[in-house]
Amino acid sequence: MKVLFTTLRRRFIGSPLRPPALNSLFNLFCPRKYEAERAWRLSSSSILGPDLPDIWKHPSSAPPTLPSHSTNQGCDDLNPTIINGKIIAEEIRTGIAAEIRQMKDATGKIPGLAVVLVGKRRDSQSYVRHKIKDCEEVGINSFLDELPEDCPQDDVVNAVSNFNKDPSVHGILVQLPLPKHMDEEKVLNTISLEKDVDGFHPLNVGNLAIRGREPLFIPCAAKACIELLLRSGVELVGKNVVVIGRSRVVGLPTSLLLQRHHATVSVVHAHSKDPDRIAREADIVISAAGVPNLVRRNWLKRGAVVIDVGTSPVEDPSSEHGYCLTGDVCYEEAFQLVSAITPVPGGVGPVTVAMLLSNTLDSAKRAFGLS
């Protein structure tokens, strides 16, 4: 009987065209197993969940209604600290410049950073200008490849590939966002792992997620958030931290890096229910949703520390560039009850660029055998 079952199974298990007369015999020897396999295949295809875009509702301009039990009243005794990212970034750049001078004396070489800019978004152009300026300040060679917004994706991939092959380039940055007709994932995956100073390569993110492993590079904005907190003397171990936004650029790597520091991390996104209630429980709020003034006073508890990563361009005819950068957090309301907060601009942004320079320096050290 065992031999008969084995023979039948080998013959018919994978055959889509069994003779009808054998169906009852096949089902007798293989009870429900194949129905379970079909169900497993269906469940496997959906286990990662639906791919839903994070579209936040635009916040109301009306004053927020505080819950009746809120402890956010009577905050006049607080003297909030403004976490000055410009000063911290300057300290970091000074250290980087000193190391680059030592590198040049020892090897006759200096690091190189290449930037690929597609299109003429005003905010992207502004970010790139600042990055190039900071490169010059610390002694890093900068290379800029500007492409028109309507260029084919292959042009961007080719630009990245050329920088991959250039030994004088130790870091490659593709300024995001890219035009809608391009696949950001494909373009970013073109960047060599050894030159992925933005830290977006899947291997870098995967190693960041696993304790005991060390990524080649930590994403710059996430690294900047932690740097600001640590240099401001904010304790992270055991603290309740809410990260608002889950992008691959900021939210995801920041939440992973916070777990490395043993914080208790919650992530709020556009599909979260009662995000204000969740955020109000946090000792530290890091907002990276990219929605101007999303976080109002009723999102914060008294004494919280706020890191505002949001930098949304808002039209302002009185500004030199025709727009101003506005954060996710309504600064005037938050300032009334927090213990520390980063301004926008002048908070996370300068330190993020400094972390980019730091990652580029680290890449050059590896290339020159100085690690």
State the catalytic residue, choosing from 134, 175, 195, 239: 175
Q: Which residues contact 361 (CB under 8 A, 6 or more apart)?
A: 96, 99, 100, 103, 111, 140
365 tagged catalytic: no
How deeply is 56 buried, as exposed, middle or buried, from its count of CB atoms within 10 A (0-12, 13-18, 19+)?
middle
Torsion sign across C-alpha atoms 364, 366, 369, 371: positive
CB 250 within 8 A of CB 309: yes
State the catalytic residue, choosing from 134, 145, 196, 198: 198
Owner of token pair 């028109």: 148
175 tagged catalytic: yes
CB 170 within 8 A of CB 111: yes
Backbone angles phi, psi at 192, to 5 degrees: -60, 140
CA–CA dist 307, 21 (Å, integer): 70
Q: What is the DSSP letter of 200?
A: -
CB 245 within 8 A of CB 287: yes
198 tagged catalytic: yes
CA–CA dist 292, 311 (Å, integer): 8
State the catalytic residue, choosing from 131, 195, 239, 301: 131
CB 336 within 8 A of CB 297: yes
Chain centre to alpha carbon of residue 12:
50
Active-site residue list: 131, 175, 198
